Structure 1
């Protein structure tokens, strides 16, 4: 028995007989291993953060652009006669208002149309003349809010070459009659000296503060009349080619009022001709109609107590 045990012990390699560079790996048991963390759930927010380019392999993303239609035989627009091209420009700008003022709708209604002028130099020159020579530009803005108080009117925003094509201007008096905006002044920045083709100035009077209805609301007697007189004088002196002034106004404005008398006096002193607009219907010989007391018929043929020309008594 002792001999067998010696053989078995001799056949087993001892720990001391292992090579010095060998490593013994001991695998941990399942009981001692910590539990693995579960994978985080993918949310919709994580999916939205993924770059769309990461979903492709090697093909770069190219935005889809519709193929531009190019006619096989281009239309030779510039080969048409000049009068035909001008007529086409007129049709193109037909939906733009004939009276332009500084306002919030200018970009939508006007600015996009002016993109035609970027085609070439010849189209730019022809379209510029066709547009600016057929529109009336308001000297000072009347649209409420920041446009009304702007120190840079629409005419001052135009280029000198564009102002040379303008043929008609309008001066509207009445807005801000108690406190005119500071931007309503004639200065070199307004560019009236560039308007060499303006031969007629339209003056539209919305109200006459000298009327009795403004009693108690005026800043002072004759304040706005003096302001309008000085403003019209400065405008006429700055325009190089004007020779006619057209007056017009609302029905409440009288030709015999202080406002109109001041304005007509400025024009007469400048030696310019006076014309009348279609809104008010004035003529050279027209006289303001005074309020006349109309005869009132009595109901049932006899007068009731309290039923007079200035009042009506309702009988129950």
Structure 2
């Protein structure tokens, strides 16, 4: 080859890769280690990843299914800037994105004395679009009914317990596709605390499977069948 000739650099043909490899690449870019929520840092932490959506129509079709189908999305925002919003994240998404979401998280504890008015499970969340939603992750930050620290600040002994169980009950009525509820919590919350008991009762009554999240490692410390017997819930399905 003549030394004056410059080798032509051909573009990499991404869509010539097998679909399995393309999905792996999307997952490397689009899967996040934490729950996605309304947050002022999203423009820095998440938006750059979503530029993949703008490459082409075909890439958008493949990439959005990985992003929304493989990440976990918070049901109600907990960041102070969005805490009292009337439009949680799910309500802001286009229907086609909600339609591929498989996992959501309900974080319990923030605003326990006076939950925001927007924390209501109704048609405004547009959960009817979430036809493949399978997993509800419940993270309990505190149980006001079980700790004397909260004495004197409670609206009522069982107010927050009733509020939380109503959220879960309404979720079950809105989303029939839910099959698993994964519990996790901060160290101060015991798996047999009043709030946990009430939530597990509700899950059992709704015929959903109970699993444990990674933070507490309850799966190692608590045998699920034993836990259900202690809580008078019978044997797991």
Same fold (TM over 0.5): yes
Quote the residue 2:11 is aligned against: 74
CA contact (8 A) 1:193 1:240 kept: no
Instruction: Write out per-residue CA displacement over residues 47-74 of structure 1, whole angstroms, 9 at most, x where no aligned residue.
Output: xxxxxxxxxxxxxxxxxxxxxxxx7422
Residues 101/257 of structure 1: CA separation in 2 closer, same or farther (3 Å cut): same
Please give the secondary structure, in 2, of the residue aligned with 1:172.
Answer: strand
Aligned mates of 1:255, 1:88 — CA distance in 2: 38
RMSD between aligned residues = 1.7
What is the DSSP-based 3-state SS (H/G/I as helix, E as strand, rest coil) of the residue aligned with 2:70?
Answer: coil
Aligned to 1:177, the other structure's residue is in SS state coil
- Aligned match of 1:7: none
CA drift of 1:265 comes to: 1.3
Alignment partner of 1:99: what SS? Answer: coil
Q: Deviation string for 1:158-197 (max 9, x for gaps)?
A: 1111112211111111100001001101122212122222
**Structure 1 residue 260 corresponds to structure 2 residue 226:** no
Distance 1:266 1:156 in 2: 25
- 1:204 is aligned, of 124, 130, 139, to 139
Decide whether the 8 Å contact of 1:232 with 1:266 is kept in 2.
Answer: yes
For 1:223 and 1:286, locate their aligned partners in 2 and report how far apart those are by CA, in whole Å: 24
1:98-109 equivalent positions in 2, closer than 5 A: 98-109=34-45
Instruction: State the partner residue of 2:5.
Output: none
* Counterpart position of 2:164: 228
Unaligned 5+ runs, structure 1: 1-70, 288-316
**TM-score, normalization by structure 1:** 0.64
Q: 1:89 aligns with which of 26, 29, 42?
A: 26
User: Structure 2: how far apart are the matches of 1:178 and 1:98?
Assistant: 26
Equivalent residue pairs, number: 215
- Which one of 113, 117, 133 corresponds to residue 182 of structure 1? 117
- Tell me, yes or no, if structure 1 residue 154 matches structure 2 residue 89: yes
Cα distance in 2 for residues equivalent to 1:80 and 1:147 = 41
Match in the other structure for 1:173: 108
* Aligned-partner Cα distance in 2 for 1:230–1:104: 29
CA distance in 2, matches of 1:174, 1:139: 14
SS in 2 for 1:111: coil
CA contact (8 A) 2:30 2:50 kept: no
Q: TM-score scaled by structure 2?
A: 0.85
Alpha-carbon displacement from aligned partner over 1:135-175 (angstroms, at most 9, x marks no partner): 1101001112x311111111111111111221111111110
Q: Which structure dedicates a bigger proportion of its chain to helix?
A: 2
The aligned counterpart of 2:216 is: 280
- 1 or 2 for the larger relative contact order (CA 8 Å, sep ≥6)? 2
| Counterparts of 1:170 and 1:92, CA distance in 2 | 22
C-alpha contact (below 8 Å) 1:185/1:231 kept by paired residues: yes
Cα separation, 2, equivalents of 1:225 and 1:196: 28
Match of 1:136 in 2: 72
Deviates more, 1:85-94 or 1:118-127: 85-94
Looking at structure 2, the residues matched to 80 and 257 of structure 1 have their Cα atoms a distance apart, in angstroms, of 51
